[in-house]
Structure 1
Amino acid sequence: MSYVLIPRLRINHANAFVGRYAISPAQVMAITLFAHNLARHVLPTGFDYSAVGVAIIHHDAQMLGEAPYAMNKKSAAFHPQQRRGAALIDNNDYAQGSKSALSLQPVATCHLTVSLVVHLPGAFSELKLARFLQRARIAGGLVIGHGELQIEAEWQSLKLPQGYWIIDRSDLLEGNPLDALIAALGRQAREPVAEEPADAETEETAKIEPALPTSWLAPAVLAYAAATDFACRTGVRMALGLDGAPDEIPLHAWGEAMLGLVQYVSQRHWASLPDVAPLPFWYPTWLRDDVFAVRMSAPPIASF
């Protein structure tokens, strides 16, 4: 097994419009599939690509847009940069009745800086890894640079840059997920308050376990559910071989993005929590035959 640290990966114009409902720079699904694509390029055939995981360290996100001062609300309302359509469809697609101006397309983008720890289940070609990163994209954004790669057999040998882990907080969505999501995102930030133990006479009862704060929460696409049956359809994206030529026509289904909740947690705070994995890796999985998701879990115990 190998652990690859890609430090300070800079991504320009990454998508920040998640699931048509929210704006967020937490591109967990896109980064997990980026790691999957990386593995397909650098690992020999025959590996279980579902065992490829990625831990995400957030450094910076610059949302692209304007925030003019709103006099009536006494606050700044953010307006994402919009782009006009690339093609004329019909008369209904023109902006304000003009036949020369294309209508705006709903979009939100951002510049991202993240560090990634990719967990690969076998030996790989470092040359192929370097070539892959030269033309890679994440969430539609172009990778414009990164720090010096570090490859180790044990994660403890990695020199991790300081930042914030992106972790799963689906536990906050129990009950009514939609109401819980809206409530969590609108909650005032606060640090966890530890309650006094009922009996503080013994050392065991006096211990207070650190908890996660209810702050720095963000929506993220954590799954896709198929809305139609899987079938061969013309005009869809084809599976390309490593040489860039069409390899096969995969089964296709229309899907719906499913939002979850993630949190930015400092590395020091994460390390202080009991009963958590040393590194919060994300792995792809099929929850059902028609639901593809990413889940946070630990690599195999043997690798630690």
Structure 2
Amino acid sequence: MSCYAVIPRIRVQNANMQTNGFLLGGVPLMAANMFAHHLARQLSTQDQGLIYIHHDLQRLGGQAYGRFTPAQRRGAVFIGKKDYSSKNKYALSLQPTASCHLEFSLVIKFASSRLSPEKLASILSRSRFAGGQIVEFSKISTHSENELETALKKIKTGFVVLDRQDLLIQYQQRKQLNRVQAFTQLLALKSEQLRTFFADQSLSWISATCLGYALLEPVNEQRAGIRQAQDQHITPHAYAEPLTGMVQYFSLGEILRRSTDAEDSSWHDLEQLLWSYHWPYDDIFLLKQNHAITH
């Protein structure tokens, strides 16, 4: 028997906003799934998926002439004087960063049916998320595996993150573009243009984020210098590149309303909202929702 743990209104300060090398501000789905995995290990169970509900994101930096400039922080210590500025021997160099404050809720499915909300709260109070400090969260509750709707009603409002790879594929085929062209053009469309092109009035807020990684080389156990490895000589290691996908923010209130609508069966199965990680191939690690989203 499984259960759902509801962690409402998690507030994180100074989280990493760079979900991959060229993308700022994407919803931190990869961080959320690895965070759920961390919680499961602390609770001696397994994570079986999560639902991410977005509430707020505050970018840390300046905005001028339509351009965002991330705030930077100087280092606090030096190592062998190698990280001092080359132009000023008394100033520590900057390490390029992009940070944000986050507010979100998580509904995590765990393999165990017996979880203590108090123990989960204790773990959260000393954990970090996407490199940021967890400063606050509301009361945690647990629900049986057939009470997902009840679990979501504990959160009430927010925007659920949906996988919309289908939009990208459809746009690419209809426009006869390559995948990169379709990706950039689709992200540039305004809400009304999206609704008109796909004939779908529910489309209003799409975005991009990191949804996985692909290995660039075979796994290597001989390379030294791996951070946090207990044994430098036998720890598997490989270079990888991020896989960027298309997502949509969709109103939780609208999903809950449709889940009880007898004439609209698109959201009767709320488990389709669950994101989980898997290896579809030996060299690809990917986040995926349980089922394709259709409206």
Q: TM-score band, normalised by the shorter chain? A: 0.7 to 0.9
Gap change, CA 1:254 and 1:66, over 3 Å in 2: same
* Equivalent in 239, 242, 247 of residue 257 of structure 1: 242
Residues 1:100 and 2:90 aligned together: yes
Are 1:230 and 1:252, in contact at CA under 8 Å, matched by a contact in 2?
yes
* Equivalent in 221, 226, 242 of residue 215 of structure 2: 226
Are 1:43 and 1:125, in contact at CA under 8 Å, matched by a contact in 2?
no
Query: Which letter does structure 2 place at the counterpart of 1:187?
Result: L
Are 1:13 and 1:109, in contact at CA under 8 Å, matched by a contact in 2?
yes
Alignment partner, residue 135 of structure 1: 126
Gap change, CA 1:83 and 1:40, over 3 Å in 2: same
The CA distance in 2 between the partners of 1:101 and 1:77, in whole Å, is 27
Per the TM alignment, residue 124 of structure 1 is displaced from its structure 2 partner at its CA by 4.2
Query: Which letter does structure 2 place at the counterpart of 1:23?
Result: L
Alignment partner, residue 62 of structure 2: 66
The CA distance in 1 between the partners of 2:215 and 2:251, in whole Å, is 35
Are 2:78 and 2:84, in contact at CA under 8 Å, matched by a contact in 1?
no
Residues 1:192 and 2:195 aligned together: yes
* Equivalent in 36, 46, 68 of residue 78 of structure 1: 68
The CA distance in 2 between the partners of 1:269 and 1:39, in whole Å, is 30
Alignment partner, residue 169 of structure 1: 164
The CA distance in 1 between the partners of 2:4 and 2:168, in whole Å, is 32
Residues 1:151 and 2:154 aligned together: no
The CA distance in 1 between the partners of 2:80 and 2:63, in whole Å, is 31
The CA distance in 1 between the partners of 2:41 and 2:240, in whole Å, is 23
Gap change, CA 1:294 and 1:143, over 3 Å in 2: same
Per the TM alignment, residue 113 of structure 1 is displaced from its structure 2 partner at its CA by 0.5
Residues 1:119 and 2:109 aligned together: yes
Residue 52 of structure 1 aligns to a residue in which SS?
strand
Unaligned runs of 5+ in 1: 71-75, 196-208, 241-245, 299-304
Per the TM alignment, residue 239 of structure 1 is displaced from its structure 2 partner at its CA by 6.7
Are 1:39 and 1:52, in contact at CA under 8 Å, matched by a contact in 2?
no
The CA distance in 2 between the partners of 1:211 and 1:289, in whole Å, is 39
Alignment partner, residue 21 of structure 1: 22
Query: Which letter does structure 1 place at the counterpart of 2:181?
Result: D
Alignment partner, residue 288 of structure 1: 281
Query: Which letter does structure 1 place at the counterpart of 2:285?
Result: F
Are 1:284 and 1:294, in contact at CA under 8 Å, matched by a contact in 2?
yes
Structure number with bigger Rg? 1
Unaligned runs of 5+ in 2: 173-177, 259-263
Alignment partner, residue 202 of structure 1: none
Backbone CA RMSD of aligned residues: 2.8
Alignment partner, residue 266 of structure 1: 251
Per the TM alignment, residue 25 of structure 1 is displaced from its structure 2 partner at its CA by 4.3
Residues 1:57 and 2:53 aligned together: yes
Query: Which letter does structure 2 place at the counterpart of 1:173?
Result: L
Residue 270 of structure 2 aligns to a residue in which SS?
coil
Query: Which letter does structure 2 place at the counterpart of 1:138?
Result: F
Percentage identity across paired residues of the two chains: 33
The CA distance in 2 between the partners of 1:132 and 1:234, in whole Å, is 32
Q: How many residues align?
A: 266
Gap change, CA 1:21 and 1:104, over 3 Å in 2: same
Query: Which letter does structure 1 place at the counterpart of 2:54?
Result: H
Alignment partner, residue 160 of structure 1: 155
